[in-house]
Amino acid sequence: MRIDVVSIFPGYFDALELSLLGKAKQRGLIDVRVHDLRDAAHDKHRTVDDTPTGGGAGMVMKPEPWGEMLDGILAEAGNSAGAAADAEPGAAGDPLIIFPSPAGEVFTQRMARELAHEQHLVFGCGRYEGIDQRVFDEYAARGRVRLVSIGDYVLNGGEVATIAMIEAIGRLLPGVVGNPESLVEESHEEDGLLEYPSYTKPAEWRDRAVPPVLLSGNHAAIESWRREQRIERTRRVRPELLPRELRGESRGRHAAE
């Protein structure tokens, strides 16, 4: 997968060199290229923002540097949106441009799975006050653009949201996570339930024992206990995630059976 990132703080993305994603980059499974938006701002101060037209607080990112930078990325990718204005927009395999924004659709595991099938993602990191609307309109008219939020809170810029999305998407790519089973057995994946609590050795730590069932060797009992834990945890913390058929059940019903 090819990923281009446009930001005025390229240093944020040094984090992508670490851990599993860093290894995936080294091994050529993910090709991430980070671009400094200021390289497309040509005045003495390399200005990327200006006051909001019509008044208001804060600054808005100017369209010209975004246009130059995104045109360059799309043209280099040799796709229809960058190469020819008359080509059909949104053809499969064309880059998808994502602008992280608290005003966007909410990023979920489902969206991560969907985006993991893309060949080329471009992340445009704006500051909170935003990017001139014409940038979205221009690239939406020429190809595919999505505004995506990572949750209902505000950040100073799109960088941290982009790192979160790249990690969630990147780990779903074939070969990035060593054991593909560990991808299935986790919160939000299999059936929408949260994960069960995990334990390791020692069996007792600071007077806290590991739940005895996990030491029983009874695999059916362990599986049933874990499922019960997942259901109870989901009911307690994220009741809206609970599948309809589990909603009516009272707490501890399985344990009492």
Q: Which is nearer to ligand J9T, 3 or 150 (CB)?
A: 150
Tell the smallest beta-carbon distance from residue 6 to ligand J9T (Å). 13
Nearer to ligand J9T, 146 or 226 (CB): 146
Shortest reach from residue 152's CB to ligand J9T, in Å: 7
Measured from the CB atom, the residue of 149 and 229 that comes closer to ligand J9T is 149
CB 163, min distance to ligand J9T, A: 11
- For residue 85, the minimal CB distance to ligand J9T (Å) is 30
Nearer residue to ligand J9T within complex by CB, 73 or 161: 161
In terms of CB distance, is 139 or 196 closer to ligand J9T? 139
Choice between 151 and 175, CB closer to ligand J9T: 151
The nearest distance, CB 57 to ligand J9T, in angstroms, is 15
Phi, psi angles (nearest 5°) of residue 230: -65, -45
Q: List contacts with ligand J9T (CB under 6 A).
A: 100-102, 126, 128, 149-151, 153-155, 157-158, 161
**What is the smallest separation between the CB atom of 99 and ligand J9T, expressed in angstroms?**
8
